[in-house]
A and B are shown apart, each in its own frame.
Chain A
Amino acid sequence: MAEPAAEKTLLDIITEADTDRNVKGPELTGEINVPRVEEGRIVKGVLSGAKPYAAKPDMMTALGFPDTLVDNWEEAAVKRLGELLEKYKSLQVYLDICVRCGSCTDKCQFFLGSGDPNNMPVARAELLRRVYKKYFTTEGKLFGKLAGAHRLDLKLLGDWYAYFHQCSQCRRCSVFCPYGIDTAEISMAAREVMNAIGLGQKYTDMTIGKLLEIGNNLGMNPKALVNTLESIEEDIEEEDGVPVKLPLDVEGADILLVTPSADFFASPHVESLIGYAKVFHQAGANWTLSSAASEAGNFGMFIGNYTLMQKAATRIHNAIEQIRPKRLVVGECGHAWRIAYSFWNTLIGPFDSLDPKYPAPQHICEYTYDLIKRGAIKLNKEANDEFTVTFHDSCNVARASRMGNRPGGQFTIPRELIKASCNKYVEMDPETTKEKTFCCGGGGGLLTDEIMETRVAGAMPRMQALHAVMKSDGVNFMALICAICKAQFTAVLPRYGVPMDVAGGVHQLVGRAIELGAKE
């Protein structure tokens, strides 16, 4: 006999999902076609049911949020939004200045992939802007719907939960906005408001919780980390006959490497970790990883929560205090590099104890590039002759950071590394690279299986551009510098009929090409 169904809570209603996890990508043609009304490809609300799992009460309280949707949620949401508007004047400006010019409408990968007009960046922002108008502007208070104002009712909150989790905060739309409205900041604010009223997203909140409790997103404790690093050392020695080490917690080491924990665990991520280790080895560097700072990632950014971001970043500060390195280097992780480059200084800086001769922090690609330029390491390109390589710019690296000391270094340096590591390199369509790069479709806290439909849709533009160079130039390796990109493409490529091992790391290529052993 069937059990009587438990009564649904408001939270259940808001987060109730209707989405296809087994979805396959559309056929690849190499063309990125903008969905059109006359072709019937624009369908309002087609992804309204693609909602991620809600965070469980224990995950919420661990982060200092209410355990479930609070009774006075509308009032509480307005209050939190008001606080954010006070704190971030930029947010208010972005909500005030949109003139609905339409420049952003066809720039988002989630709109292009789904055809759901709520994924047009202007429409997504409008979900929050309506509420802002209702409670914070004179015209909204006076004229209500006529002024585009709307109260935050249950239906609208459900749309917030769906569509602010179909934004990867990649900021592609901002590149095309004549006013420079940063929709990522709007989506971060919406998620912060939702968490503040007890409506969190499980994947992101659980991951932040693991980082704060155990020290990394994976939940890998120091004992497991030691075992994993020893195992990787064994593998390298077996394969290359050279005792390349992955030192951990070495106090007084010159270089502290902070890298995403996925590098210890997942494939192809681990191949890049092996690449960094070989580079350090061959450069004769005295380097170390840290068990206290065994995660570069910081999902606090995805929910726009400064307090949690700072808490997470403080582990790195503590590791610097403990190890006292001269240099701080960051591994291949897109959003982590944004945080490291743009936020660490205010979160945990200044880095007065580091050697001012070097950038603090420095990206692993900058570090390796410098060694290549100086001739301190040698690469044998033939080692990668089986590959024709292309490069996917990660959104956070491309649009929220820089590398090296020249504008655009975040574009040139990874490409120079790849070209130094292989003979065959091909660019994808320039409308899809550098500052115009598309997100992989899994960034910003979307890398969770229950919203695979969103992820497959969001990957569509990149998949088409990749397909075009696979067909024209025989590309069979897409190099990446982000742990999320690597995991997302490994999962999504097969859904487009492309083998998962087409996705790999930049330092995977470097690691295969580097000549180990005595220097001439």
Chain B
Amino acid sequence: MSFEFNGKTYETDDDGYLVNLDDWNKDVAAYIAEQEGVEMTDAHWEVVNFLRNYYQEYSIAPAIKILIKEMKKMFGPEKGNSAYLYNLYPAGPALQACKIAGLPKPTGCV
């Protein structure tokens, strides 16, 4: 599967997750977010940037527990909790934020 955006073709998996990590840029992220019904604010970017940095280091998205903890370390307890993340990404931080961050969909028994 694929979609067109700004004259470029982006290859995706069956669920619309980008196949190539390097295809990602802020504009296409905002576009994917729009399709998801999410309007990107600074708070949304904080999560996306963390996910991408973590993925670049570990080749996998962080466990949700780690995401929460690291958000807490970086931005304080009001941002380091599950309710805050679900508020930003109603379909779930793991699924929806990863999609916008251009990471593959988490698989396995999760």
Contact residues, A235-282 vs B (CB, 8 A):
235, 260-262, 264-267, 269-270
User: Across the interface, do B60 and A219 meet the contact criterion of CB distance under 8 Å?
Assistant: yes
Any chain A CB within 8 A of the CB of B76? Answer: no
CA distance A447 to B110 in the complex (A): 9
Contact A297 to B109, CB < 8 A, known contacts A224-B58, A235-B69, A450-B14? yes
Any chain A CB within 8 A of the CB of B43? Answer: no
User: Across the interface, do A217 and B109 meet the contact criterion of CB distance under 8 Å?
Assistant: yes
Any chain B CB within 8 A of the CB of A348? Answer: no
Contact residues, A472-490 vs B (CB, 8 A):
483-484, 486-487
User: Across the interface, do A218 and B69 meet the contact criterion of CB distance under 8 Å?
Assistant: no
Contacts of A487 in B (CB 8 A): 109-110
Contact residues, B6-48 vs A (CB, 8 A):
14-15
**Nearest-neighbor residue (CB-CB) of B110 within chain A:** A266
Partner of B108, one of A217, A232, A234: A217
Contacts of B57 in A (CB 8 A): 223
Partner of A221, one of B58, B69, B109, B110: B58
Contacts of B64 in A (CB 8 A): 265-267
Any chain B CB within 8 A of the CB of A456? Answer: no
Chain A contact residues, majority secondary structure: helix
Contacts of B53 in A (CB 8 A): none
Distance in angstroms from B80 CB to nearest chain A CB is 12
Any chain A CB within 8 A of the CB of B87? Answer: no
Contacts of A72 in B (CB 8 A): none
Q: What number of B residues sit within 8 Å (CB to CB) of A?
A: 17
Distance in angstroms from B58 CB to nearest chain A CB is 4
User: Across the interface, do A53 and B63 meet the contact criterion of CB distance under 8 Å?
Assistant: no
Contact A216 to B58, CB < 8 A, known contacts A202-B14, A235-B65? no
**Nearest-neighbor residue (CB-CB) of A52 within chain B:** B14
Contacts of A234 in B (CB 8 A): 69
Distance in angstroms from B3 CB to nearest chain A CB is 12
Q: What number of A residues sit within 8 Å (CB to CB) of B?
A: 38
Distance in angstroms from A184 CB to nearest chain B CB is 18
Contact A218 to B59, CB < 8 A, known contacts A270-B65, A449-B15, A450-B14? no
- Stretch from A116-124, A160-168, A203-211, A303-311 forming part of the interface with B: A203-211
Partner of B15, one of A219, A450, A486: A450
CA distance A266 to B110 in the complex (A): 6
User: Across the interface, do B60 and A207 meet the contact criterion of CB distance under 8 Å?
Assistant: no
Distance in angstroms from B29 CB to nearest chain A CB is 21
Any chain B CB within 8 A of the CB of A314? Answer: no
Task: Name the residue among B60, B64, B110 with the largest chain A CB count within 10 angstroms.
Answer: B110
Contacts of B66 in A (CB 8 A): 227-228, 231
Partner of B69, one of A224, A231, A333: A231
Distance in angstroms from A446 CB to nearest chain B CB is 11
User: Across the interface, do A483 and B107 meet the contact criterion of CB distance under 8 Å?
Assistant: no
Partner of A210, one of B14, B107, B110: B107
User: Across the interface, do B65 and A216 meet the contact criterion of CB distance under 8 Å?
Assistant: no
User: Across the interface, do B65 and A218 meet the contact criterion of CB distance under 8 Å?
Assistant: no
Partner of A483, one of B14, B58, B65, B109: B109
Any chain A CB within 8 A of the CB of B77? Answer: no
CA distance A267 to B15 in the complex (A): 22
User: Across the interface, do A484 and B65 meet the contact criterion of CB distance under 8 Å?
Assistant: no
User: Across the interface, do B109 and A484 meet the contact criterion of CB distance under 8 Å?
Assistant: yes
Contact A231 to B108, CB < 8 A, known contacts A221-B58, A224-B59? no
CA distance A265 to B107 in the complex (A): 10
**Nearest-neighbor residue (CB-CB) of A231 within chain B:** B66
**Nearest-neighbor residue (CB-CB) of B108 within chain A:** A217
Distance in angstroms from B43 CB to nearest chain A CB is 21
- Annotate A38-75 by CB proximity to B: 1 below 8 A, 0 otherwise: 00000000000000010000000000000000000000
User: Across the interface, do B60 and A224 meet the contact criterion of CB distance under 8 Å?
Assistant: yes
User: Across the interface, do B63 and A260 meet the contact criterion of CB distance under 8 Å?
Assistant: no
Partner of B107, one of A219, A227, A232, A235: A219
Which residue numbers of B lie inside 8 Å of A, CB to CB?
Answer: 14-15, 57-60, 62-66, 69, 106-110
Which residue numbers of A lie inside 8 Å of B, CB to CB?
Answer: 53, 202-203, 206-207, 210, 216-221, 223-224, 227-228, 231-232, 234-235, 260-262, 264-267, 269-270, 297, 333, 447, 449-450, 483-484, 486-487
Q: Which 9 A/B pairs are nearest by Cβ-Cβ distance?
A: A217-B108, A224-B58, A483-B109, A266-B110, A262-B109, A218-B108, A265-B63, A53-B14, A224-B60
Q: A224-B60, A231-B66, A266-B63 are in contact. List 4 more A-B contacts (CB 8 A).
A: A206-B107, A216-B108, A266-B64, A449-B15
12 cross-chain CB contacts under 8 A:
A202-B14, A210-B107, A217-B107, A217-B109, A218-B60, A218-B108, A234-B69, A262-B108, A262-B110, A265-B110, A266-B109, A487-B109
